[in-house]
Amino acid sequence: MNKMHYVGQNEVRIDGLEKITGAARYVDDLEFGPNLLHAEIVASPYAHALITSIDTSEAEKVPGVVKVLTGKDFPYKFGLYMKDRYIFAQDRVRFAGEQVAAVIARSPKIAKQAAQKVKVTYEELTPVLDVDNALKPTAKLIHPELGAYPRVPWFFPKERTNIAHWRKTRKGDAEAAMREADVVLEDVYVVPRYAHCAIEPHVIVGLYDLAGRLTLWSASQSPFTQRNVFAETLASLGLSHKDIRVVTPYIGGGFGGKAGVSMEILGAALATAVRGSPVKVRWTREQEFCNTYQRQGLTAKLKMGVKRDGTIVALEHTLHFDAGAYVEYGANVVNAAGLSATGPYRVPNVKIDSLCIYTNLPPGGPYRGFGYSEFHFGLESHIDRLAEMIGMDPVAFRRHNAIREGDTLPYGAEMNPGNLVEAIDRVAADIGWGKKETPSRPGVSTGKGFSLFWKSPAMPPNAASSAFLKFNEDGSVNLMVSGMEIGQGFLTVMAQIAAEELALPVSKIRVETPDTDRNAYEWQTVGSHVTWGCGNAVRAAAREAREKMFDVVHRAYGFDPADLYLENEHVKSRAKPDFTLAYRDFVISGIQTPHGNFLGGPVLGSGMFMPEFTSATGDPETSQGGHPNVHYTVGAAAASVEVDRATGKVRVLKTSLAVDVGKAINPDLVNGQVVGGMVQGLATVLYEDMKFDERGKLLNPNFTDYKIPTARDIPDVVSPIIIETPQPDGPFGARGVGEHTMIPSAPIIANAVNDAVGVRIKSMPLTAEKIALEIAGTYADPHFTTGGRCKMPTEN
Amino acid sequence: MISTEFEYARPKTLREAVRLLGRHGKSARILAGGTDLIGWLRDDLVKPDILIDIKGIGSLGKLSFRQNMLRIGAGVTITELTESRAVRTHFPLFVEMAGMLACTGIRNRATVVGNICSAVPCCDNGPVLMVYEAVLQVTGQEGDREIPMSEWFKGPRQTALRPGEIVTGVTVPKPAGRHAACFAKLKRYRGEDLAQASVAVLRSDSICRVAFGSVAPTPVRAPNIERILTSRMPPEAALEAAIDAIPKETSPITDLRSSKEYRGRMLGVMLERAVKTVASRLEGSGPAYGVNVLDDYTADAEGK
pLDDT at B116 over 60: yes
CATH code linked to domain B179-303? 3.30.390.50
Residue A687: which of B188, B262, B266 has the nearest Cβ?
B188
d(CA A253, CA B64): 46
CATH entry 3.90.950.10 includes domain A16-23+464-609 = no
**pLDDT for the residue numbered A785:** 42
Please check whether residue A774 is in contact with residue A780, taking contact to mean a CB–CB distance below 8 angstroms: no
**pLDDT for the residue numbered A786:** 40
Residue A649: which of B256, B294, B304 has the nearest Cβ?
B294
- Partners of B189 on chain A (C-beta within 8 Å) are 686-687, 707, 709-710, 712-713
Min CA distance, A120 vs chain B (Å)? 19
Please check whether residue B263 is in contact with residue B252, taking contact to mean a CB–CB distance below 8 angstroms: yes
Predicted confidence band of residue B298 (pLDDT cuts 50, 70, 90): confident
Mean pLDDT of B134-144: 96
Of B179, B187, B191, B210, the C-alpha closest to B272 is: B210
Query: Identity (one letter) of the amino acid at A128?
Result: V
In CATH terms, the fold of domain A297-459+616-791 is Aldehyde Oxidoreductase; domain 4 (3.30.365)
- DSSP state letters, A286-339: HHHHHSS-BBPEEEEEEEEEE-TTS-EEEEEEEEEEEEES--TTHHHHHHHHHH
Mean pLDDT of A165-179: 98
In this complex, is the C-beta atom of B145 within 8 Å of any C-beta atom belonging to chain A?
no
Mean pLDDT of A67-78: 97
Percentage of residues in chain A having pLDDT higher than 90: 97
d(CA B43, CA B27): 17
Mean pLDDT of B41-62: 96
Average pLDDT, chain A: 96
- Partners of B301 on chain A (C-beta within 8 Å) are 441-442
Mean pLDDT of A677-696: 97
Residue A232 is among the residues annotated as catalytic for this protein: no
Task: Give, in degrees to the nearest 5, the angle at Cα A143 between A138 and A148.
Answer: 120
Which residue intervals of chain A bear CATH 3.90.1170.50? 32-125+202-282
Of chain B residues 245-284, which have a CB less than 8 A from chain A? 256-259, 261-262, 265-266, 269
Query: Identity (one letter) of the amino acid at B261?
Result: E
Which residue intervals of chain B bear CATH 3.30.43.10? 7-53
d(CA B36, CA B25): 20
ipTM score: 0.95
pLDDT at A666 over 80: yes
**pLDDT for the residue numbered A783:** 61
**pLDDT for the residue numbered A796:** 35
**pLDDT for the residue numbered A795:** 38
Please check whether residue A454 is in contact with residue A344, taking contact to mean a CB–CB distance below 8 angstroms: yes
Min CA distance, B264 vs chain A (Å)? 11
CB contact under 8 A, B298 and A441: yes
Min CA distance, A693 vs chain B (Å)? 10
Which CATH number fits the domain A32-125+202-282, given the four candidates 2.30.42.10, 2.130.10.10, 3.90.1170.50, 3.40.718.10?
3.90.1170.50
Mean pLDDT of B246-272: 97
CB contact under 8 A, A442 and B304: yes
Model confidence over A438-495: pLDDT tens digits?
A: 999 999 999 999 999 999 999 999 999 999 999 999 999 999 999 999 999 999 999 9
Model confidence over A142-152: pLDDT tens digits?
A: 999 999 999 99
d(CA A270, CA A372): 36
Exactly one of A739, A769, A774, A795 is catalytic; name it: A739
Model confidence over A194-237: pLDDT tens digits?
A: 999 999 999 999 999 999 999 999 999 999 999 999 999 999 99
CATH code linked to domain B60-173? 3.30.465.10
In this complex, is the C-beta atom of B297 within 8 Å of any C-beta atom belonging to chain A?
yes
Model confidence over A4-19: pLDDT tens digits?
A: 999 999 999 999 999 9
pLDDT at A787 over 60: no
**pLDDT for the residue numbered B301:** 55
Which residue intervals of chain A bear CATH 3.30.365.10? 16-23+464-609, 297-459+616-791
Task: Give, in degrees to the nearest 5, the angle at Cα A698 between A697 and A702.
Answer: 145
CB contact under 8 A, B190 and A699: no
For residue B281, is it left (φ>0), alpha (ψ between -120 and 50) or beta? alpha
Min CA distance, A201 vs chain B (Å)? 14
Nearest chain B residue (CA) to A699 = B256
Nearest chain B residue (CA) to A765 = B188
Predicted confidence band of residue A778 (pLDDT cuts 50, 70, 90): confident
3-state SS, A545-562, equals HHHHHHHHHHHHHCCCHH
**pLDDT for the residue numbered B303:** 42
Residue A362, SS3? Answer: coil
Predicted confidence band of residue A788 (pLDDT cuts 50, 70, 90): low
Model confidence over A562-606: pLDDT tens digits?
A: 999 999 999 999 999 999 999 999 999 999 999 999 999 999 999
Q: In what order do the strands lie in the sheet with A444-455?
A: A444-455, A633-644, A650-660, A717-723
Architecture of domain B7-53: 2-Layer Sandwich (3.30)
Predicted confidence band of residue A780 (pLDDT cuts 50, 70, 90): confident
pLDDT at B300 over 80: no
Which residue intervals of chain B bear CATH 3.30.390.50? 179-303
d(CA B131, CA A776): 31
> Phi and psi (nearest 5°) for A671?
-60, -35
Mean pLDDT of B195-202: 98
Which residue intervals of chain B bear CATH 3.30.465.10? 60-173
- DSSP state letters, chain B: ---S--EEE--SSHHHHHHHHHHHGGGEEEESS-TTHHHHHHTTS---SEEEEGGG-GGGG-EEEETTEEEEETT-BHHHHHH-HHHHHH-HHHHHHHTTSS-HHHHTT-BHHHHHHH--TT-THHHHHHHTT-EEEEEETTEEEEEEGGGTEEETTEESPPTT-EEEEEEEEPPSSSEEEEEEEE-SSSSS---SEEEEEEEESS-EEEEEESSSSS-EE-HHHHHHHTSSS-HHHHHHHHHHTHHHH-----BTTB-HHHHHHHHHHHHHHHHHHHHHHHTT-SPPBTB-TTTS--HHHHH-
Q: How many A-B residue pairs are in contact by the CB < 8 A criterion?
A: 70
Mean pLDDT of A679-702: 97
Mean pLDDT of B268-276: 97
pLDDT at B227 over 60: yes
Query: How buried is residue B155: exposed, middle or buried, by Cβ count under 10 Å (0-12/13-18/19+)?
Result: exposed
In this complex, is the C-beta atom of A647 within 8 Å of any C-beta atom belonging to chain B?
yes
Range in A259-268, A291-300, A577-586, A774-783 the model is least confident about: A774-783
CA max distance for chain B: 63
pTM of the model: 0.96
CB contact under 8 A, A710 and B258: no
β-pair type (A37-43, A99-105): antiparallel
CB contact under 8 A, A686 and B189: yes
Q: Which residues contact A794 (CB under 8 A, 6 or more apart)?
A: none
Min CA distance, A155 vs chain B (Å)? 37
Please check whether residue A655 is in contact with residue A637, taking contact to mean a CB–CB distance below 8 angstroms: yes
**pLDDT for the residue numbered A794:** 44
Q: Which residues pair with A607 in a beta bridge?
A: A467
Question: A769, A775, A778: best mutation site toward chain B, by most B Cβ within 10 Å?
Answer: A769
Model confidence over B96-108: pLDDT tens digits?
A: 999 999 999 999 9
Residue B188: which of A711, A767, A778 has the nearest Cβ?
A767
Please check whether residue A81 is in contact with residue A332, taking contact to mean a CB–CB distance below 8 angstroms: yes
Percentage of residues in chain A having pLDDT higher than 70: 98
**pLDDT for the residue numbered A779:** 76
pLDDT at B131 over 60: yes
d(CA A159, CA A146): 6
Predicted confidence band of residue A2 (pLDDT cuts 50, 70, 90): low
β-pair type (A244-247, A214-218): parallel
Nearest chain B residue (CA) to A442 = B301
Task: Give Rg (Cα) of chain A.
Answer: 27
Model confidence over A754-771: pLDDT tens digits?
A: 999 999 999 999 999 999
Q: Which residues contact A309 (CB under 8 A, 6 or more apart)?
A: A400
Please check whether residue A338 is in contact with residue A448, taking contact to mean a CB–CB distance below 8 angstroms: no
